[in-house]
Amino acid sequence: MKKVTLGAALLAGSLVLVPLAEGASAAPAAAAPEAARAAAGEPNLKTGSKGAAVKRLQLRLKELRYDPGKADGRYGSTTRAAVWAFQKVNKVPVKASGLVGKKTWAALKDPETPRSVTPRRLRKANRVEILIGRQLVVVYKKGEIALISHTSTGSGRYEDGAVSRTPRGNFRVQRKIRGVRVARLGTLYNPIYFYGGYALHGSANVPLYPDSHGCARLPFGTDLKLFDMVPIGWQVYVK
C-alpha cells in the first residue's frame, strides 16, 4: 500500500482540492490541521451523529477522493459508505454502524491509497478498477485517483438459474443509461455497462458483503458522480 496525502485549502468557504499523481507525496504542512486535531482527540462518530466533527470528517474524506456526500455535519448513509471504503483501504476494522474511532482518525491523518490492480502493460490513464476482494471501486483520471467507493459485487450464490458472479478481466464501458432502468433481475440506477448486462450502478442496498447478481452496486449519489465522470470507452478492469 502506498501513503498519500492530498493538499487542501479553505478559500472563501470552499474546499480546493489539489490532486496528486499515484505515489506522490504532499508537503507535511498539508496534514498539520488534521494532525493537531488528532493529537487533541476527536470524538467517536457513527451513523446519526451530527456536528462540527462530522463535517471535518466529511471534508477530509472528500479531500482524499471518497464521496461522503454533502459536507453538512450530518452522518448519514452516504457518509457511512465513504467511511467503510476508507477503512477497508486503511485496514481499519469496519463496523456496520460506520463507527469512526481513534484508529480511523489516526488513519485520516496519515492515509494509504489502494495500489492499482491493472497490469502495467494493460493500464490506461483513464480507467475504473473493481476490486472484488476488498469490495471497492477506484476511478483513475489521467493516472490520478479521482474517486474511491464502497461497492457490493456478485454474491456467489446460485439464484435465478445461475451463480451470481461478477466477471473478472479487462473490459471497457460499452453504454450508459442516465436514470432508472428496470431489468429482469432488479432495478438499476444510472447504469454503466462494461460487459453485456453487467454494470456499475446505483442501488438502495449496498451492504458490506457481496450481494448482487453480478453487477457492482454503488451508493446513491456516488453512482451519479461516477456516471458523469466516466465516459463510454473507458477501461474497466475487474480483479
In this predicted structure, what is the pLDDT of residue 185? 81
Q: Among residues 201, 213, 217, 225, which one is catalytic?
A: 201
Q: What's the pLDDT band for 137 if we cut at 50, 70, 90? A: very high
Cross-strand bridge partners of residue 55: none
pLDDT tens digits, residue range 11-47? 333 333 334 444 443 334 444 454 445 445 899 999 9
Cβ atoms of 10 and 35 within 8 Å: the answer is: no
Highest CATH level, class, for 2-113: mainly alpha
Give the CA-trace dihedral at 92, 212, 60, 228, to 10 degrees: 160
Q: Which fold has domain 127-238?
A: L,D-transpeptidase catalytic domain-like (2.40.440)
Cβ atoms of 64 and 40 within 8 Å: the answer is: no
**Residue 180 is among the residues annotated as catalytic for this protein:** no
In this predicted structure, what is the pLDDT of residue 18? 37
Rounded Cα gap, residues 177 and 180, in angstroms: 8
In this predicted structure, what is the pLDDT of residue 184? 85
Average pLDDT (76-84) is 98
Q: Among residues 20, 31, 107, 215, which one is catalytic?
A: 215
In this predicted structure, what is the pLDDT of residue 231? 98
**Residue 215 is among the residues annotated as catalytic for this protein:** yes
Cβ atoms of 214 and 167 within 8 Å: the answer is: yes
- Between 28-32, 98-102, 105-109, the lowest mean confidence (pLDDT) is in 28-32
Pairing outcome for strands 198-202 and 158-159: unpaired
In this predicted structure, what is the pLDDT of residue 33? 54
Residue percentage of the chain with pLDDT more than 90: 80
Cβ atoms of 152 and 238 within 8 Å: the answer is: no
Residue 130 has pLDDT above 60, yes or no: yes
Average pLDDT (134-153) is 98
* 24 residue type, one letter: A
pLDDT tens digits, residue range 195-218? 999 999 999 999 999 999 999 999
Q: What's the pLDDT band for 69 if we cut at 50, 70, 90? A: very high
Q: Where are the domains of the chain?
A: 2-113, 127-238
CA distance to 16, 64, 171, per residue, from 207 (Å) = 31, 22, 25
pLDDT tens digits, residue range 156-185? 999 988 999 999 999 999 999 999 999 888
Total-model pTM: 0.83
